A and B are shown apart, each in its own frame.
Chain A
Amino acid sequence: MRFMMLVKHAENLSGPPPKELMDAMAKLSEEAVKAGTLVDSGGLAPTAMSTRVRLSRGQVAAIDGPFTEAKEVVGGYAVFELKSKAEAIEGALRFMELHKKHWPGWEGETEIRQVFGPEDFPPKA
């Protein structure tokens, strides 16, 4: 089963993440690569560099960031291939524990979304 993890947090952080957190996250993702589960990941540029193309009331429009009205934005993602959702939850718990330990005051969430695969489209008899 494939899962996409979306890490969300307030955009205006007090500064860059502490080095200890970066190191701990690097170690965690190295472990996940060694465990054969992490298949893709990336950090996202701030919304000041982003654009939303939106359809609303019959109008398509491109709106440039930053999106100051958003309380939390997606800051990064990771794609895992795992045996179960429980395994995804366990991984996200460990990831968030690192934030708790190394970045006091930081708040945010990891959203776990399953990516549908061939097993989720059982053949219609």
Chain B
Amino acid sequence: MTATDTHRAIDAVWRIESARIIAGLTRIVRDVGLAEELAQDALVAALQQWPESGVPDNPGAWLMATAKHRAIDHFRRNKRLERKHQEFGRELQTQQEMAVPDFDAALDDDIGDDLLRLVFISCHPVLSTEARVALTLRLLGGLTTEEIARAFLAPEPTIAQRIVRAKRTLAEERVPFEVPRGAELAARLSSVLEVIYLVFNEGYSATAGDDWMRPALCEDALRLGRILAELAPKEPEVHGLVALMEIQASRSRARVSSSGEPILLLDQNRAHWDQLLIRRGFAALDRAERLGGMQGPYALQAAIAACHARALTPEETDWARIVALYDALAQLAPSPIVELNRAVAVAMAFGPAAGLELVDGLTAEPSLRGYHLLPSVRGDLLKKLGRFDEARAEFERAAALTRNARERELLLDRARACAGSSTPPAEPR
């Protein structure tokens, strides 16, 4: 192996092992920031030693053992942490007394729980949403600060600062490293799901920038979701979220044209939908259903996505069922955005006039004032009703509101298609 190969191998090992190592260390040192530093120290040691010695047979165990030695050194240096040192010593002693020959097996016993604890601490409500996202990608996704910065189009020092502050906040607030129980669990879990779905959505329809999609971010979110589904297999909403992401991701290839423009759902070439992800999405939805979770907000949204995935052509879409699912969603989690989506489904099931009536009821909604999809949907319905001048004005308004360059072009195209034409223009591709 050349030095470059070794460095590449170390990168890969880090990606595979870092979350488990940080989780295991956090349980021991009770400080996620310190745990990450120790894991990083071990990584530096690997970068120094492996090019000479070769990659060890069990690189994960090597990194963990090295990090633990660093932890011992750290506590020895910090006399003022004497009490903690003793606790830590006891823990190490207990571990040694277990004298398990297979280091991995000993680690594996608790590692699932430790990872789940790490998920919950990274998504803790004492942190801002932005901080939760950055910390989760960093600690669980194994992303570098630079990668996170690039994904969110933020300067690297901003993200680095955000992560440092988040770790400090967790330490100062003495946030326990634990899986919440009872009534707290539902609220904390929903914060975790929110963070993962936010990452997914930022990849799926980037809110800003030149690209319509950033597929790598979708993959990061999917991976986190799949990990969580194995860590918390009895939580139906986790499977609901995974189902939703798998099915949405299945359309990635079909929703961008070769020139980079977004292609709307009903205009997509369904042959380009990824059947493997659709199948996985259905399986996840099935798990949610068997756990009695079909009334959860993510499971409901996944069921809506599944209606589209099942339809071989747009005409076969079961819009009446989609309306019913949106009804349930609107009752469970009422929001103007859900109402807007419901209006679109109503228009498809019962005609554009019925949809427009609902959309018109939303135009005074303050929270939708800057939301480009409201005029975009309204423009679409007006166009279908042959009211081209009004439709054009709505598309132009929507174009002025979106922050995504690709989406703006699409909307301006649609506006142009309406201009000065009384015959129905072709659907934009």
Contact = CB atoms under 8 A, between A and B. Distances in A.
A39 interface: yes
The dominant DSSP class at the A interface is: mixed
Nearest to B230: A34
A34 B8 contact: no
B199 to A, nearest CB: 13
Interface stretch (A10-18, A46-54, A66-74, A78-86): A78-86
Interface string B154-182: 00000000000000000000000000000
26 contacts: A34-B231, A35-B16, A36-B225, A36-B227, A36-B230, A40-B276, A79-B276, A81-B223, A83-B15, A83-B142, A83-B220, A84-B11, A86-B8, A86-B9, A87-B12, A87-B16, A89-B8, A89-B9, A90-B9, A90-B13, A91-B16, A97-B57, A118-B213, A123-B258, A123-B260, A123-B261
Interface string B216-232: 10011011111100110
Interface in B221-272: 222-227, 230-231, 252-253, 256-261
Given A97-B57, A118-B215, A37 B223 contact: yes
B216 A36 contact: no
Interface residues of B, number: 34
A81 B252 contact: no
Contacts of B112: 34
Interface in B23-59: 57
Give the 5 A-B CB pairs with smallest separation, nearest first: A123-B260, A36-B226, A86-B12, A90-B12, A36-B223
A87 B14 CA distance: 9
Contacts of A97: 57
A36 B276 contact: no
Contacts of B188: none
A119 B216 contact: yes
B384 interface: no
Given A87-B15, A125-B259, 5 more contacts: A36-B230, A79-B276, A118-B213, A123-B258, A123-B261
Contacts of B258: 121, 123-124
Contacts of A90: 9, 12-13, 16
Contact of A39 (B216, B231, B276): B276
Nearest to A121: B258
A63 interface: no
Contacts of A81: 219, 222-223
Contact of B12 (A36, A84, A119, A123): A84
Contact of A119 (B215, B224, B231, B276): B215
B8 to A, nearest CB: 4
B28 to A, nearest CB: 21
Interface of B: 8-9, 11-13, 15-16, 57, 112, 142, 213, 215-216, 219-220, 222-227, 230-231, 252-253, 256-261, 276-277, 280
Nearest to B261: A123
B145 to A, nearest CB: 15
B101 to A, nearest CB: 15
Contacts of B142: 83
Interface of A: 1, 33-37, 39-40, 79, 81, 83-84, 86-87, 89-91, 97, 117-119, 121, 123-125
Contacts of A86: 8-9, 11-12
Contact of A123 (B9, B220, B257): B257
A118 B226 CA distance: 20
A118 B12 contact: no
Nearest to B59: A90
Contacts of B11: 84, 86
Contacts of B16: 35, 87, 90-91
Contacts of B213: 118
Contacts of B257: 123
Contacts of A124: 258-260
Given A39-B276, A89-B9, A118-B253, A123 B215 contact: no
A90 B277 CA distance: 24
Contacts of A40: 276
Among B215, B226, B227, B258, the most chain A Cβ lie within 10 Å of the Cβ of B226
